[in-house]
Structure 1
């Protein structure tokens, strides 16, 4: 844009200098016979000098125009070079983050997730791709014993099974938090657009979803977790802590909510058909629902 502005300025300056030169030539340039009409030597010298100044003025104007054009072209080239360098840098950062997501070291996986969140800010056009990567990471690491850790203080009201886990791993907690930050600015998610493989169980209306369908989540601590649009249908959430969790538009059809803590959980627009372990009145007394919550 700066280059185009300079080119426009050059055109305007060139036109002005050209018109000034034409006016000068019309007023001061001697006619072919002027030097032979009985002028004095001094007058002849002045006429010749006037003609030379007109020519030099025209040359100067052309030089100024060419200089501005060259400067504008240089700025355009510099802008394109910087844009290409930025694209290369973003691609390198993305590749490093992807590599670190598969690391056995927790700190590297967490660092990679925060790096992806920053990339989503620095490169808005790549938000959709980054969101898919984070959700794939969550869904890929949702097996028992992989992302869930023993609870330091299990609830006495519900007996956990020997294989039940009760607390999300640190990397999954970070992943859910990062996903919430990314989706807050993702227009594709906000508008629920179509366009991705709707036959994929991890997608709904073209938007990727967190898939905890049928998962054993007894005693799990998901307090404050970002689970908007998540699939928790048929999940066993007995004794789980979903206090302050963001579950708007989530699918909890036929989930078991016996002993589940739902204090100030956001269930606006959530699907709650066939839930077990709690009545609608009990849920409405604790959680936030609206007219779009399906029972």
Structure 2
């Protein structure tokens, strides 16, 4: 039972008790004289009348006191009921405001999706930013739907297909041959740049769906500081992309091959200065002499191309805790772990 109902019952009981007391107490504490008592005072009638008047006054004073107490409790009950009504109105107002807010957010979400389907690049760019705003405003309900919508948009708008990269004609042993020229993604496809940048700014959590950016053309994108942990970049074109201080680590999906996957990704001339690469698979990534790894951090689970000397390219390797608990996703490699240990700052 709710507290306010209990309080209301208590006040009503008190009022009933006071009403009963107002009728009973005067008779108990100032009773009327019996006939015998009055008869015994006939010789002094004046005194008898004064005594009777005094008792009546005492009874009336009792009644007045109890009626005042009863009136006070009646006022208290009125105040309580008014306060309860005010609380109910406030609660109803909050519920109405929340429903209104949810409706407004839902409308903005729908309009933003419509904008993404526009044929105008500026309108699609605005739709991507609008979706990011919706996800930030109502993360519990819309963060994951917005992430999935933006991923679908990138796969539809910037899908590079299964064909080879132009840079794959390079000499794989030397890691040269990548072409760092081209138009910036923000100029070439501003809507794609806005969508992937929005994904990189959204918060990531443990049970989120896999961030699938495989086979997407993100060449010359600006992803500075992007949070793209556990993302799948298989055969994604990232040549000349700015990934400075980007977080590409494998965090939650320890056993998923698709997570933190940069296999066959094109990193020619990409800027990974200070990027976090712990647990990332770059074993078949396209890397050339222009790819900047200065200050990037890896761990003993990071996989590099066999020909690539990461220690000479400014990569800082740090032994990750719990290495022995990650055998399924990171098979023990004493040589790699030893190299990493010797390369720690």
Shorter-chain-normalised TM-score: which range? 0.5 to 0.7
Mapped to 2, the partners of 1:90 and 1:61 lie a distance apart of 43
- 1:133 matched to 2:149? The reply is yes
**What secondary structure is seen at the aligned counterpart in 2 of 1:99?**
helix
- Tell me by how many angstroms 1:33 deviates: 9.4
- 1:258 matched to 2:288? The reply is yes
- 1:187 matched to 2:214? The reply is no
**What secondary structure is seen at the aligned counterpart in 2 of 1:110?**
helix
**RMSD across aligned C-alpha pairs, in angstroms?**
4.4
- Tell me by how many angstroms 1:233 deviates: 0.8
- Tell me by how many angstroms 1:20 deviates: 9.2
The residue number in structure 2 matching 1:222 is 242
Gaps of 5+ in 1: 1-6, 146-156
Taking a change above 3 Å as real, the CA distance of residues 215 and 66 of structure 1, as seen in their structure-2 partners, is: closer
Mapped to 1, the partners of 2:184 and 2:196 lie a distance apart of 13
- 1:232 matched to 2:262? The reply is yes
- 1:213 matched to 2:213? The reply is no
- Tell me by how many angstroms 1:248 deviates: 4.7
**What secondary structure is seen at the aligned counterpart in 1 of 2:88?**
helix
**Given that residues 215 and 235 in structure 1 are in contact (C-alpha distance below 8 angstroms), is that contact kept between their aligned partners in structure 2?**
yes
Mean Cα deviation higher: 171-180 or 72-81: 171-180
- 1:287 matched to 2:315? The reply is yes
Mapped to 2, the partners of 1:261 and 1:279 lie a distance apart of 12
- Tell me by how many angstroms 1:254 deviates: 0.8
TM-score by length of 2: 0.58
Mapped to 1, the partners of 2:277 and 2:160 lie a distance apart of 22
- Tell me by how many angstroms 1:84 deviates: 1.5
Q: Which one of 24, 30, 34 corresponds to residue 26 of structure 2?
A: 30
- Tell me by how many angstroms 1:100 deviates: 1.7
Mean Cα deviation higher: 42-51 or 174-183: 42-51
- Tell me by how many angstroms 1:80 deviates: 1.6
- Tell me by how many angstroms 1:257 deviates: 0.7
**What secondary structure is seen at the aligned counterpart in 1 of 2:202?**
helix
**Given that residues 238 and 268 in structure 2 are in contact (C-alpha distance below 8 angstroms), is that contact kept between their aligned partners in structure 1?**
yes
Gaps of 5+ in 2: 34-50, 162-175, 215-227, 250-259, 324-329, 331-335, 337-345
**What secondary structure is seen at the aligned counterpart in 2 of 1:76?**
helix
The residue number in structure 1 matching 2:99 is 84
Mapped to 1, the partners of 2:245 and 2:193 lie a distance apart of 7
Mapped to 2, the partners of 1:172 and 1:227 lie a distance apart of 20
1:145-160 alignment, distance < 5 Å: 158=177, 160=179
- Tell me by how many angstroms 1:244 deviates: 4.5
Mapped to 2, the partners of 1:226 and 1:65 lie a distance apart of 58
- 1:105 matched to 2:120? The reply is yes
- Tell me by how many angstroms 1:8 deviates: 4.8
**What secondary structure is seen at the aligned counterpart in 2 of 1:121?**
helix
User: What's the CA shift string for 1:112-151, capped at 9, x where partnerless?
Assistant: 3333333233223132332333333334333349xxxxxx
Q: Which is greater in Rg?
A: 2
User: What's the CA shift string for 1:40-87, capped at 9, x where partnerless?
Assistant: 154454344334334433432332232222222222222222221222
**What secondary structure is seen at the aligned counterpart in 1 of 2:109?**
helix
Mapped to 1, the partners of 2:290 and 2:248 lie a distance apart of 18
Taking a change above 3 Å as real, the CA distance of residues 25 and 233 of structure 1, as seen in their structure-2 partners, is: same
Q: Which one of 39, 49, 65 corresponds to residue 52 of structure 2?
A: 39
The residue number in structure 2 matching 1:275 is 305
**What secondary structure is seen at the aligned counterpart in 1 of 2:61?**
helix
Mapped to 1, the partners of 2:184 and 2:150 lie a distance apart of 19
Taking a change above 3 Å as real, the CA distance of residues 269 and 8 of structure 1, as seen in their structure-2 partners, is: farther
Taking a change above 3 Å as real, the CA distance of residues 121 and 42 of structure 1, as seen in their structure-2 partners, is: same
